[in-house]
Each structure stands twice: as structure tokens, then as C-alpha cells.
Chains A and B, each alone.
Chain A
Amino acid sequence: MRPNKKRLSISNPEIFPSFNNQVDKGTVQIELMNFLRACFRPRSNRHVHAGPDSGGKQEGLLWYKDTGQHANGEFSMAVVQANNLLEDQSQIESGCLSTNELGPFGTFVGVYDGHGGPETSRYINQYLFQHIKRFTNEQQSMSVDVIRKAFQATEEGFLSLVTQQWPMKPQIAAVGSCCLVGVICNGTLYIANLGDSRAVLGRLVKSTGEVLAIQLSAEHNVAIESVRQELRSLHPDDSQIVVLKHNVWRVKGLIQISRSIGDVYLKKAEFNREPLYAKFRLREPLRRPVLSSEPAISVHPLQPHDRFIIFASDGLWEHLSNQEAVDLVQNHPRSGSAKRLVKVALQEAAKKREMRYSDLKKIDRGVRRHFHDDITVIVVFLDSNLVSRASSVHSPNLSVKGGGVNLPSNTLVPCTTPT
């Protein structure tokens, strides 16, 4: 957000009355702070305006792009911010999927739900797709191996960032992110996932005319019994690997997901020590990583009846079932699909909190996190004519990053403690 010119003038009596009448250092200082805060703080009643680089629109804490065109059809995207700094990041990249401009061509979608801060999800948003392009070029095609290597390179890159920043900013060791990726290339859909975001396919059942929800990814969240079992079998010597705390299962009593990018304090012993906050430090030294960064990757040949894929962070799925979400997309116009899903999820959140949706929307970011999570939704529609086209067919490059009020983490806004 950019302050308008009028506000920037220090001699403007509307902004700095005391500056012009009587020089009172204290007042000026306070007003200057207020002014700077005003510049950085989003206004919930702010008018709709276009985002910086994406053609998206911002309405209070909601960012959306109703419709756009990717290599395999249309898409719709929406993000609502709840955290003081948006921890959900997302992107859709269409066109060339390689550093070599000859292709292959296709669509890349990423949803990155960060925790403990925005650093990891922002890092992924910046680098993961670059790694994909680099490995696609090396192997001259899209594959599971390309995606796996790109995840690994992103994890390693973030680790070196943490190593570099650790002396000044040790809490970066406790920042991490889920990472959900979809790649459509050559009529094939690749889904790679770490953490608890989810991709759901809407597939038309010819005989009944219904559009069925098919979940394409599994969550790595210890709320799920099989994930707890997996962790227990990986750590047979640790009876405390998953702990039930206040009715919520957590890995080492700290985190609900079992796989992530970042969270190096649960992966490397050298980052699980002072000066990291005591609440993140384990009693016994880390002998091996307790969180994994290995994505689960699945490959789905797309069929003519596959209508759309919904990619979303858990903020959506805690309020909507797969089929509810698919029905909402199927039964309404394509344009604005993602925004509609976010809105229905918020209405549901308001209901659970026993308040009105119109009031929920008035709550400022930060405090808003007590009412719902950051929510990101990308709906990717599949045009069967375009999907079946060879990946060598050129399509124009497009890049949209999910908006929100993206501030650097060292601005004047008060920071919430990482959780």
C-alpha cells in the first residue's frame, strides 16, 4: 500500500497540526509514529484497488483474482489474511516450465501455508518454481524426480538462509511452511505435498451427471492416526514423539504437522539450542530429524471428465468438506469461484464463533487469527481440449502471486509471537 502524496507532506496541517503551530517534540514524535503506522497498516474499509503485479484486487483483508487464463483453462484465486503478517503464500505460473524457452509448457500451482512467521512460505514462493524450471531443463521433461529435486533444493536453500541469519535472528529456526504443488504438463497432473494443505479434483460422473470430489493429496497432520503411527515407527525409542496436549496431537508437543519445509529446529540439533526461545527447545538433544521434508508425490493422467482442481490451505478445509467445496464451484459461474469458497468458509467460521459474518470482516489482522486462519484458494479449471494438447505447444507466460498485505517482517507493526 502506498500512501498518497497529500499524506506524505510533513507541512500538511491535516497530518501534523502541531508541527505547524507549535513545535512540541514529543507530540511530533508520536504523530510521526502514528503516521508511519498508518502508512503500513491496511485499512479494513479500504476501497478495492488493484494489487501491485498480479491484476488482483484487495478488499479489506481479502485479496482475489476472479478469473485468469492458464495453459490448460481458466483459474480463480483468493486469499484472506488473518495473521498479522500473511503466512499463506501462493502462486500460479503458466507457460514455459523450463529455463529453456522451448518448453515443456504447462501450468504450475503452489499453495504454501507458513507457520511461526511468513519467512519460509515467502522463500518457497520465490524459489521453488525456479528450481522446477532448472531441473526440468536438466532432464528435458517434467517428472516426479524434477519435483522431488526442486523440493529438496528449496529445503536446502532455506536451511542455508537460516544458517546465515541464525546469529542475528535465531527465531527463524522455528519458522516453517506446508507446501502443496500441482503441475499440469502433457495431459498429466502431478501433485506434490508436504503438510496439511489439500488438492481436490472435481470429476464429472457421466452416468449420474454429478461432479464428484476426489481428494488428490493426503495431509501430514498428527491429528490423523496413521500419521501418528508413521512417526512412532520412525522413532521407536521416543515415547514422546507425539503428545496429546489440550486435546490436540502435536509432534514433540510443539507442532501439528509431520512434514514441512523449514522448521529446522526440529531437523538439526545445532538449531535446537540457545538463543532459540526456550519453548521451542527440546529437553533431549535431537538425534535425528523429527520432521521430514520429503514430499508425497502422486501422478494422475487427466481424463476428459476432470472439470477442475481446488488447491487450498487447511484454513478452507477446516470449514468446508471436499464435496461442499466441489459443489460450490460446480453450481456457480467460474469467475469468482475462489472468492466464493473463501466467503462461505468465513461465514462458517463466523457461525462457529457465534457471531455475524459482517462483524467478523471488521476485525483487524492479528486479532483476526483468533477467529479464523489465513485462507488461500486456487481453483484451476481444466479445458479438455487444452489439457490433451502436447506440452511442446507454446502458451504465453503468466505469473500471479497470491496477494494480501505483504510487509517485510521488520516494519513497525507489532509482531505476534510465533506459534
Chain B
Amino acid sequence: MINSKKLIEIVRKWQRLAAIGRKRISFARTREGFGDCNPSIIVDKGHFVVYTADQQRFVIPLAYLSNAIFRELLKMAEEEHGLPSDGPITLPCDAVFIEFAVSLIRRNVGKEMEKALLMSITTARCLSSSCLQQEQSNQKLLICSF
């Protein structure tokens, strides 16, 4: 069990990170060539691609598909957009959120922390393109849930 102090610390750190010119984690790229099926944008082996509501492109390792956070995000995408077959997957959250989620999974912060984030997204449910405000309310929820 993570105590709330540590959680706040992590959230602060993330806020700082996000503030520093939104330094992107290595696999985030801008959305270029979206829409056409140019084979050159097909990614490295062992990865899949998602776009965020604010049109950022993320290349994610396949293994993340079994992570509860990504499963929830995909489920939310399905509720939001149905299951369109004509283009890439778009998740109903913004780049900052994905960066945070990916950094959590990457640093292997453990199931408790992931659960907390999951709870915050399932409670908020409405992460949409109007990003920062909702991000903040998510932080609150995240902290409140302990």
C-alpha cells in the first residue's frame, strides 16, 4: 500500500515534468501523416500505435495491452467512438495523461498505484480533449482515493 504522502510526491513530480515544456517520453511523436496509410509510419516490431484526443501519436510496446490501465483506456475509446475500422486507435485522453500512465507502468510502481490511477479514470470517466482542467480533477481524485 502506498501512502498518500508518496502519492502526492509522485503527482508533484509528474506535474513538474509536465510543466517543463512537456518533455515527451521517448516514444511520443507528433501526429504526422495521419490518415494516409503510408507504410513508412508502420512502427517497429513488437509495438502498437495510439493517438490521443489532442492528436499526439504514441508508439507503445505490445505487452502494455495486458496492462489494466491500457485495457480501461481502450474500453473507454470503444464507448466514446465505437470500434471504427478505418484508421488508427484514438484514446479519449490527452498526451499528458498517457505520458503519466506510461511512466507509471514503466517504473513499475506496482499494482496499488495503477489501481489508484484506474479508479481515478473510471470515476472521472470523462477525460476529453479539454485536458488540463480534467487532469487536475483526476489528480484530486487520485489523492482522495487513499
Interface residues, chain A, with chain B CB atoms under 8 Å away: 246-248, 318-319, 349-356, 358-359, 362-364, 367, 369-373, 417, 419
Contact = CB atoms under 8 A, between A and B. Distances in A.
Interface string B10-23: 00000000000000
8 contacts: A246-B81, A353-B88, A353-B89, A354-B43, A359-B45, A363-B62, A370-B77, A372-B85
Contacts of B37: 351-352
B39 A351 contact: yes
Given A352-B37, A356-B42, A359-B48, 9 more contacts: A246-B81, A248-B82, A350-B42, A351-B42, A353-B88, A367-B65, A367-B74, A373-B83, A419-B82
Nearest to B57: A354
A318 B85 CA distance: 7
B88 A352 contact: yes
Contacts of B80: 246
A417 B71 CA distance: 13
Q: For this complex, into which size category does the number of interface residues on chain B fall? A: 20 to 34
A369 B83 contact: yes
Contacts of A318: 85-86
Contacts of B65: 363-364, 367
A319 B86 CA distance: 8
A342 to B, nearest CB: 14
B109 interface: no
Contacts of B46: 359
Contacts of B54: none
Contacts of B78: 370, 419
A353 B48 contact: yes
B2 interface: no
Interface of B: 37, 39, 41-43, 45-49, 62, 65-66, 71, 74-75, 77-78, 80-89
A318 B78 CA distance: 17
A367 B86 contact: no
Contacts of A358: 45
A397 B54 CA distance: 58
Contact of B47 (A246, A349, A355, A371): A355
Nearest to A350: B42
Nearest to A366: B71
A362 B49 CA distance: 15
B43, B46, B77, B85, most chain A CB atoms within 10 A: B85
A354 B88 contact: yes
Given A356-B43, A359-B46, A367-B71, A349 B85 contact: yes
Contacts of A371: 48, 89
A354 B62 contact: no
B83 A352 contact: no
Contacts of B84: 248
